Copies of this chain bind each other. A is one copy, B any other.
Amino acid sequence: MRMSEGVEWAVHCCLNLAWTGAEHAVSAARLAAYYELPSAYLNKQLQALARDGIVASTPGPRGGFRLARAPESITLLDVVTAIEGPRPAFRCAEIRRRGPGADPADETRCAVDQAMGQADLAWRRELAGRTLGDVMAGVERTAPAVPERVHRWFTT
C-alpha cells in the first residue's frame, strides 16, 4: 500500500502558493521547477486540487495557480483526498458472503471491515485536524528562512 508521490508534491506546492501570496498566480512549470518535478505530471495534481477548490487557476499567458482559500481552512485530508480520492485504503470485498459458509440471511456488517474502518477513521481524523496553516507554522518554527526564500523566488 503506497500513497502516490503526487501527495507530497501537492502539499509542498500548496505551501509555496501560500507563502507566495494570493496576489501572484504561478504557472505549473514554475511550481515544478522549484523541486525539479515533471511539469506535465505536476499539472495533473494541480488540476485535481483545482477540482476540489483548493487552488484556483487563471488561464492565459499571465495566468497560473493561487491558493483558493486561506491555508488555515485547508486540511491535509483535503489535499490527500483531492489526489488519492475519497475511498478508504481497505475495501471489503465481502468474501465472507461467498462459498459454503455464506449465509444470505446475515445482514451484519463484516467485523473485519468495521475494525479496518475504525483505523481508517483515526487516520482521517488526524489528517483533518492538521491544516496547511499548521504545517506552515511548523516550517516557520524549524526553518524560518524558507517562507521568505519561497516568496522571493516565486515573485521575482
Contacts and interface: CB of A to CB of B under 8 A. Distances in A.
Interface residues of A, number: 61
> Main SS of the interface on chain A?
helix
The oligomer's copy count stands at: 2
A62 interface: no
Interface string A40-56: 00000000000000000
Interface string A101-135: 10100101101101110111111111100100011
Interface of A: 1-5, 7-9, 11-12, 15, 33-37, 76, 84, 87, 89-93, 95-96, 98-101, 103, 106, 108-109, 111-112, 114-116, 118-127, 130, 134-135, 138-139, 142-143, 145-146, 149-150, 153
